[in-house]
Amino acid sequence: QVQLVESGGGLVQPGGSLRLSCAASGSIFSIYTMGWYRQAPGKQRDLVASITRVGSTNYADFVKGRFTISRDNAKNTVYLQMNSLEAEDTAVYYCNTHPPRVPHWGQGTQVTVSS
């Protein structure tokens, strides 16, 4: 069974930075495009960024120029560098393939942007 484990969240002031990590077990990682998603309270889960297995990236308009997704195929890990954080970025962040193929999402990692 594939497992996804997110980490790196926390409380940060507006304008600050965080780096999220997602470790994936199983054989999916080297095959599929991976994505970071986020879900704020009372809202749907949205795709934030995605990266193909060869490193091509795409970003949601609301994070372009601020967030950077990367992956290390040897470590089965995908990262999300988040800079210039805003209060609106507050959410639980998850990873999965893009589109999502792993039925059991990880626990996510909470990102709170507040002064």
β-bridge pairing 34-39 and 67-72: unpaired
**Roughly how many angstroms between the first and final C-alpha of the chain, as a whole number?**
40
Q: Which residue has the tokens 């970071």?
A: 36
CA distances from 65 to 20, 36, 62 (A): 17, 16, 9
Tokens of 64: 């372009």
Instruction: Report d(CA 50, CA 44) in Å as an integer.
Output: 18
Instruction: Report d(CA 103, CA 43) in Å as an integer.
Output: 20
pLDDT along the chain (115 residues), means of 10: 93 98 83 95 96 96 97 94 98 97 94 97
pLDDT for res 87? 97
pLDDT for res 30? 77
pLDDT for res 26? 73
pLDDT for res 98? 96
DSSP state of 36: E
pLDDT for res 25? 86
